[in-house]
Each structure stands twice: as C-alpha cells, then as structure tokens.
Amino acid sequence: MKFFSQIVELFSTEKYMDIIWEGLQTTLIISVLAALLGLLLGTLVALVTISPQSGWMMVPKAICKAYVTIVRGTPMALQLFIMAYVVFAFRGFPEELTATLAFGINSGAYVAENIRGGILSVDIGQTEAGRALGLTRKITLSRIVIPQAIKNVIPSIGNELIALIKETSIVSMIGMFDLTMAAKIIGSGNNMASYIVPMTVVALFYLAIVYLLTFGIKLIERRLRAGDKR
Amino acid sequence: MKKLLSLAMVVVLLCGCVFAFSSCGKDIIVHTNAFFAPFEYYDGTEIVGVDVEIMNKVGEKLDRKVVFENTEFSAIIDNVEGGKVCDAGAAGITITDERKEKVDFSIPYYTSVQYVILATDDASITTKTKDGVEYIVWEALAGKAIGVQTDTTGWIYTDGEINATVDNDYGYDGVLYGTDTELKNFDNAQLAADAIGKSVDVVIIDELPAEFIVSKNSGLKCLPLYYSGETDADDAPVEEQYAICVTKGNTELLDAINEVLTEMMQEDADGVSEIEKLVMKHMGMSE
C-alpha cells in the first residue's frame, strides 16, 4: 500500500504540486503552439501537393515532398535534438520556441498527409460536376471539395493532435521542464526517490488532457455531421 | 484568421531572435544535469547544490548573472566544447583525458570514489572487509546486470571492464571481460536505482549521489567499489577528481573559477573547507 500512500503524499505536498504545475504549463504551451503551427503548415503543404502540375509549381511541390519525406522518415527525438543543439544553438534562445518549432514542423508533415488524404477521399465526380457547372477550379475546391473533405479529416487530425501532446514528453531529453521532467524531478534523490509513483501521476495528467481534447473533437465532429443522413 | 496566425508566429519568432541576441555575452550560462545531489538537484522548481553555489560566487566576482540550464549529462561536454549554447559545465564532472581534449578544466575541487548500490538483502554478491570498511571488488560483479548513468565515470569504468581486452581498441584486460556481465544505460542514477531487483542487480555511481539515493530508499545499501590488488591489502578504490569545465580558450572565466575554488578550498581553523561545508549542508537537506 506504499504506492497509494505515496500518491496521496504527492498530491498533498505543495512543493510537488508546484513542480507538476510548472511542467504542465510547459507541456500545454508547447502542445498548443505546435498544434497551431502544424495545422497551418500542414494545410499549406497539402494545398501545394494537390495543386495541378504546372511549370512554376514544380519547385514548391518538390520542396513539400522532400519536407514530408524527411520529417516523417526520421525520429522525432533526433529532430528535436538537431533543432536544439545545431539549428537554434544560440545563447539564451528560448527553449519553448525551439520545441514549438520542432514539434510544429514535425506535426505539419503528418497533418499535410491527413488533409491530402481527406481531399482525395472526396469523389472525383464532385470536382467534375463543379467544373461542368462552370465553376472555377479554385471555387470548386474551396466550396465543394474542402467542406466535404474536412469531415473526413477531423478524426485523423484529432489522432495527430493526441500523438503530438504525448510526444512532447521527449522535450525532457533536452532538459526542458515539462510534465515528464516534473515526474523525473519529483522522483529524483532529494524528493521522493522513486520514479514509479510520480510517473503514474503524470500519466494521469496526460490522460486528462487527451480526454478533454477527444471530447472537444467529438463535439466538432457531431456538429459537422449534423446534416448527414446516416 | 490564417493571416493573423502567421503574423503571430512571425512576431513570436522575431521576439525570440531579439531575446537571443540581447542576452548575448552577458550571462554566464552553465549546463548541468540536476539529478546529481548534493552537487546539483532540483529543490522545488529551482536547481540548487554545491556547484550552483560555486558558480554563483564566480558570477559575483565577474559581475555577471549565472544561469543554470538542465540537460542530459552526456551532452554537457559537447555543449561546452561547442561554446554556442553555454559557457561552462558544472555537474560534478570528473577530469578524464578524453574530456580534457575537448574542454578546459578548472582545478579539482572534490575527490570521489565509485560506489555500488545494491539491495540490502542481496546475498549473491560477496563483500570484503578491510580496516573496518566493507567494500566490493569488481570481480564480485561478474555475471551481474550493472546499471549506470550514461557517460558518467561509472559508465566509462564499467564499459571498460566488460569490453576491454588487450586485443581490441581498449588495449588492456578488463576485469569482467568475457564474464557475461551486462551493462545497462539509464538517464540518471535514480532511474537505475529504481530498476534494482528488476532489470539490473547493482548500480555504479559516485559516492555522494549513491549515499543520497540510499538514504531515501530503505531497501538499498551502498558500498565502495575497489580494484583488486595482488593481495587483499592492496585492494583500493580509484579516486577521481571533480572539476568545472569551460569552453577551450575562455581564460577569463577559467581564471575566475580557479580563484573562487582556491578561496573555497582554504581550510578554516577547524580544518574544514567551505566546499566541505557546502557538501555537508546539501547532504543534510536530504534527511
């Protein structure tokens, strides 16, 4: 029963809760900013990738393809490490920004593929019909294809956001004070001197964040599907 | 909306750059691994410890602010060598020849030996006693799973003893070579200590952190680690010396650190130096 008494001890000690609060803030800041950056970047990259082949579009298309390949093909931990110790290795560069950029760029590649998949999932007949009615390519995409695509994309974007939040736990690798680092600190020699209890408690915090997010995504999905006859 | 978002990102980026360059060269940035009590550890959300107090004195001397940043122990030497993200490393770093090639070390300020942490009821490891001191020799660890913190001297020694033979790059015979002894790396010693009795049998780490961890865990004990001599009387531990490292060529900072350390190692009337007092103070906090 030492386990449960230690959980109570952790929750009732102000010092430990301060540490968790500090870590929670970092985790939330990085997750939210990186998610926004990822969505923005992902949308842009997806739009470039699905745009029709033409002479001058070759260059951005190639860049986007390389971006998605490299980011999805290398471990996140390695990307974070390179960002922290090579790219943004400036004195006093805010590490939250380093992490936000690293995770945002990583997330962007996955979001881009999700959005691309969503757009491709809309039947080609929809585009053909729009074009046949005399709508421009742009209008067809923005008024007919994308509204239908969004519905298909939301679940996989939600998936990506959940993965992103949990993946931020690796920022403790570059010494950042996030939730996982909070658990390490509480578990270190001068505090509880055992990792099992603080790690479990922090896991509960991650679970709570992800649960809230899932709830939010469900609401959006329900709203978007309100008109569906199923 | 998208325009607003991208604008916000640009502003954040610019702020970051301004911040990065405004703080350029003013603060002394010190990298550490804050899981090495009593030399550096987290008290609440603050990094405290013996090394922190030493570096704060250096900062006072140079009239510059000292900022401690927590990072992986294995990254500290490389970060200090590059000198781009920090000026110095203070993490109870032992002076070794390999590290000397990359960074400049201050004068040593503390002498330590390696300790073995093991479960109190572990009878499978034979201990020896000499002059009233119970100790463990390397040979007693044959066939065990040994947990260490990556890149610490405990890791360097254990890796050497397990993998070295005269025929390979190491060029000497390791005590545990060919004995089926396993080396397991952990982020920090506490994590390794948590694994005792599960994935590892013993943990090798410096003396004071070992005692710190053991004082907090009732099921663990720690004993000094000795190298076997010709006879039992020759059994002895390997002493190692801690120093603070700075980027090569940063003589201004190195001189200041050496000055502060020299002052702090002066023994007072009772024969106790300020460093020893700090160690006792921070060890005391654990109880």
Contact residues for A156 (Cβ-Cβ < 8 A; gap 6+): A114, A117, A118
Contact residues for A122 (Cβ-Cβ < 8 A; gap 6+): A145, A148, A149, A152
Q: 10-residue block means of pLDDT along chain B (287 residues)?
A: 58 56 70 89 89 94 92 91 91 92 94 93 88 90 92 90 86 86 89 89 92 87 90 87 94 94 88 88 66
Substitution target from A188, A191, A194, A195 for chain B, most B beta carbons within 10 A? A188
Mean pLDDT of A45-63: 88
How many structural domains are present in chain B?
A: 2
| Joined tokens for residue B207 | 């003396």
The CATH number covering residue B226 comes to 3.40.190.10
Q: What is the reported pLDDT for A52?
A: 81
Q: Is B72 in CB contact (< 8 Å) with chain A?
A: yes
Q: What is the reported pLDDT for A156?
A: 93
Looking at the domain assignment, is residue B7 inside a domain? no
Mean pLDDT of A32-46: 95
Instruction: Let me know whether B191 and B258 are in one domain.
Output: no
Q: How close, in Å, is residue A4 to chain B by CA atoms?
A: 17
All structural domains of chain A: 2-224 (1.10.3720.10)
Closest residue by Cα to residue B87 from B26, B152, B20, B21: B26
- What span, in angstroms and rounded, lies between the C-alpha atoms of A102 and A223? 32
Q: How close, in Å, is residue B24 to chain A by CA atoms?
A: 6
Express as a percent the part of chain A with pLDDT over 70: 98
Instruction: Let me know whether B121 and B218 are in one domain.
Output: yes
Instruction: Let me know whether B121 and B85 are in one domain.
Output: no
Q: List all residues of chain B from 87 to 146 with a beta carbon under 8 Å from chain A.
A: none
Query: Is A192 in Cβ contact with B216 (below 8 Å)?
Result: yes
Looking at the domain assignment, is residue B2 inside a domain? no
Q: List all residues of chain B from 20 to 39 with a beta carbon under 8 Å from chain A.
A: 20-21, 23-25, 27, 29, 34-35, 37
| Joined tokens for residue A116 | 């691309």
Looking at the domain assignment, is residue B105 inside a domain? yes
Substitution target from B6, B45, B72, B200 for chain A, most A beta carbons within 10 A? B45
Instruction: Let me know whether B91 and B35 are in one domain.
Output: yes
Instruction: Let me know whether B120 and B224 are in one domain.
Output: yes
ipTM: 0.76
Q: How many CB pairs under 8 A join A and B?
A: 115
Q: How close, in Å, is residue A229 to chain B by CA atoms?
A: 31
Q: What is the reported pLDDT for A196?
A: 86
Q: What is the reported pLDDT for B11?
A: 62
B200: DSSP letter: B
| Joined tokens for residue B28 | 């002394």
Q: What is the reported pLDDT for A9?
A: 86
The whole domain housing B103 covers: 27-111+241-284
Q: Is the peptide bond prior to B38 cis by the omega test (within 30 degrees of 0)?
A: yes
Q: What is the reported pLDDT for B286?
A: 42
Query: Is A190 in Cβ contact with B43 (below 8 Å)?
Result: yes
Closest in A19, A175, A196 to B70, CB measured: A175
pLDDT class of A76 with cuts at 50, 70, 90 = very high
Looking at the domain assignment, is residue B10 inside a domain? no
Mean pLDDT of A193-218: 92
Measure Cα distances from B102 to B31, B82, B83, B97, B173 in Å.
15, 9, 11, 9, 26
Report chain B residues whose CB lies below 8 A from the CB of A33: 12
Q: In which region does residue A205 sit, left (phi positive, over 0), alpha (psi from -120 to 50) or beta (all else)?
A: alpha
DSSP A90-149: -TT--HHHHHHHHHHHHHHHHHHHHHHHHHHHS-HHHHHHHHHTT--HHHIIIIIIHHHH
Pairing mode of beta strands B220-226, B88-94: unpaired
Phi, psi of B195 (to 5 degrees): -90, 0
Q: What is the reported pLDDT for B287?
A: 39
Q: What is the reported pLDDT for B23?
A: 47
Instruction: Let me know whether B228 and B118 are in one domain.
Output: yes
pLDDT class of A91 with cuts at 50, 70, 90 = confident
Instruction: Let me know whether B170 and B93 are in one domain.
Output: no
Residue A167 has pLDDT above 90, yes or no: yes
Looking at the domain assignment, is residue B154 inside a domain? yes
- What span, in angstroms and rounded, lies between the C-alpha atoms of A62 and A54? 12
Pairing mode of beta strands B35-36, B40-43: antiparallel
Q: What is the reported pLDDT for B223?
A: 93
Collapsing DSSP to helix, strand or coil, B195 comes out as coil
